[in-house]
A and B are shown apart, each in its own frame.
Chain A
Amino acid sequence: MAEQRRWYSGMLSTEDWWAVWIGLFFVLLGLLAAVSGVESTGWIVKFSKWVDITKSFKASHKGLLSPGLSLILNYVIFTLATCTGAKFMKWDVKKYFTAWTIIFWLTVIFYIIGQNAYIAATSLERKKYGIDWSLSLGGAYYIIALFAGLFIGNLTPKRFRTFIKEAAKPEWFIKVAIVCLGTKLGLKAIEATGFAMHLLFAGCCATIAAYLLFWPLAYTVSRKVFKLTKEWSACLASAISICGVSASIATGGAIRARPIVPIMISSLVVVFAVSELIILPGVLTTYWSNEPIVAGASLGLTVKTDGADAASGAILDELIRAKVAGQGIHWDEGWILASAIMTKIWIDMFIGIWAFVLAVVWVWHIERRPGEKVPKSEIWFRFPKFVLGYFIAWFLVMGLGLADIIPFGDLKFGIKPIEGSLRKFFFMLTFTSIGIVTDFRELAKEGLGRLAAAYGTILAIIIIPLGFFLAWLFHHGMMPPTAP
C-alpha cells in the first residue's frame, strides 16, 4: 500500500515514468541542437506526401543523412530507447524487441502508404504533385495504421496476436508523443502566448465541471438502471467519466475492487474509444468545422483513452484544416489537436484526486474499515506522471524562448523535428498498437454484454452530449491562429 512507497517509487519501473524519461530525452536533444547548433535532432525521419516513392521520407535536416540511413538510425535509436525502458520495467526484452521490430517497420509502411499524394494531397496541393485528382484524406495514414492494427489484433492467428502484443503499447507510445507535444505548445506559445494560456484555462474549467457531473450521473445510471453493484458501478463511472483505463484501475485500487473488475472495464474502454476514434472526427468535421477548438475540446472530454483522444485529435486537426483550406482559410497546424489533448490532460490530473475521494468514501462509509487511514500521498501515486513531462517540455521551451535565452529561430531548428516528425511517428506507433490490442471478441465474453450496454448507453446519453455542450460553453468562438 501507499505507506510503504516512497514519493519516487516507480520512477524506473512504470510505463508512465518511462514515457517522461524517453520524451524528455528527445526534448533535451532538441535543446542541445538549439543551443549548440549540433545536428542532434536532424537525423529524425520525416515522412512527406509523395508521388515518387523515393521522396516519401528523408532526414528532418536537409542533406544531413540519406533517407535510408535516417530511417535505419531512427529504428536503432527508438529501439534502444524503448528496449531500455522495457528492460527496467522487467518486460521480456527479447520478445519485446522482436515484436517491436515488426511493429516499427509495419508502421513505416502504413505511414508511407497513407502519405501517397493521391490519398493525402488536398485540392490546393494537387498542382504541386502534378496530379489531377486526390482523395484529400489528410491523416489517412492514422486510419490505415489503425485498421491494419485491428486486422492484426482480431484476424491473424492467435499465436501471432499474442506475440505481437508484447510490444503493442499504445498508452506508452502516446505518452512519449504527448511529452514531445509539450515542446510544440511551447514553440506555439512563444508566437501566441495569450491563446495558449486561454486554451489552458478554458480546458481546466471545462474539465472541472465535466468530471464533477459525469461521474455521479454515470454512477447513478449504472446502479439504478443497469443494477450493477457499487464495485462495478464505481469503476465503470470512473472509466467513462475521467480517464478510461487509468481511472478504472485507480478506482479499482482505491475501493479495493477485485482485479477482474477494472480489467473487464478496461477492455470495454479500449473498444469504445476506438469506435469513437473512427466515428467522431468525421462527424465533428462535418458539423463543427466552424468551431474547431470546440470540436477538439469535445474529443478530450468524450474519448476516454489518451491514445485514442490524441489520435482522434490528430485526425480532426488534419480533416478540419483540409476542409477549411478549400475555403481559403489556413489555420496553423496543431492547435485543434492541442485543444483535444488539453482537456484530456486536465482530466488525467484529476484521477488522483478522485481516486483519493473514493478511497475515503469507501473506507469510511461503505466498507467501514475502523482505524484505516488514506494517506494524502495517494494523490501523488495516482497522478499521471507523463503530464509532468508534458508541462516541463512546454514551459521549458516557452520559458527559454520568451526570456530570449535561446533565439526563437535556434529553438525551432532544434525542437521542430521533435515536435513534428518524431511526435507524429509515435502517434503512428500508437495507432498501429491500438488496433493490435483492441480485441472485439472481448465484447462476447460472458456478462460483458450488460457492462457494454451500460457503457454505451452512458456514453451516448450523458458523456457525449454533455461533453459537447461543455466544450462549446467553455471554448466557443476560440479560433486557432492563422498559419504563418
Chain B
Amino acid sequence: MRDEDKTKEVSVKDEAEEPWLPIETKLVVGSVIAGVIALIVLATLVHMFLLGGH
C-alpha cells in the first residue's frame, strides 16, 4: 500500500478521516460474536470440569 508513504514520518494528526467500510463491520461483529460464543461455551466447560474441583 502507498509505497511512497513508507518512509514518510507522519503523525496521527495529519491523517484524514477514513470512512468505515462494510468489511470492518463484518470483522468486528464476527469477532465479537465468536468471542461471546467462546466465552459462554468455554466458561461453561471450565466451570463443569475444572473449577468444580477447586
Q: B43, A209: Cβ atoms under 8 Å?
A: yes
Q: B12, A228: Cβ atoms under 8 Å?
A: yes
Q: Could you count the A-B residue pairs with CB atoms below 8 Å apart for me: how many are there? A: 107
Q: A216, B18: Cβ atoms under 8 Å?
A: no
Report the Cα distance A470→B14, complex, angstroms.
37
Known: A216-B31, A216-B32, A477-B51. A230 touches B24 (CB 8 A): yes
Decide if A91 is an interface residue (CB 8 Å cutoff): no
Q: B53, A447: Cβ atoms under 8 Å?
A: no
Among A201, A217, A259, which residue has its beta carbon within 8 angstroms of that of B50?
A: A201
Q: B18, A229: Cβ atoms under 8 Å?
A: yes
Q: A205, B23: Cβ atoms under 8 Å?
A: no
A interface, by DSSP: helix, strand, loop or mixed? Answer: helix
User: For chain A, which range describes its interface: under 10, 10 to 19, 20 to 34, or 35 or more residues?
Assistant: 35 or more
Report the Cα distance A475→B43, complex, angstroms.
10
**A217 surroundings in chain B (CB, below 8 A):** 32
Find the B residue at minimum CB distance from A361: B27
Q: How many residues of B contact A (CB 8 A)?
A: 38
Find the B residue at minimum CB distance from A211: B35
Q: B13, A260: Cβ atoms under 8 Å?
A: no
Q: B51, A476: Cβ atoms under 8 Å?
A: yes
Among A194, A223, A227, A474, which residue has its beta carbon within 8 angstroms of that of B46?
A: A474
The residues in B between 4 and 47 inclusive whose CB is less than 8 angstroms from any CB of A are 5-18, 20-21, 23-24, 27-29, 31-32, 34-36, 38-39, 42-43, 45-46
Known: A219-B28, A450-B13. A209 touches B38 (CB 8 A): yes
**B21 surroundings in chain A (CB, below 8 A):** 230, 365-366
Q: Nearest-CB distance from B49 to chain A (Å)? A: 8
Q: Nearest-CB distance from A213 to chain B (Å)? A: 4
Report the Cα distance A475→B17, complex, angstroms.
41
Q: B42, A232: Cβ atoms under 8 Å?
A: no
Decide if A108 is an interface residue (CB 8 Å cutoff): no
User: 9 closest pairs, A vs B, by CB?
Assistant: A447-B11, A212-B35, A213-B35, A205-B42, A216-B28, A447-B12, A365-B23, A216-B31, A209-B39
Q: Which residues of A contact B (CB under 8 A)?
A: 194, 198, 201-202, 205-206, 208-209, 211-213, 215-217, 219-220, 223-224, 227-230, 232, 256, 258-260, 264, 361, 365-367, 445-448, 450-451, 470, 473-479
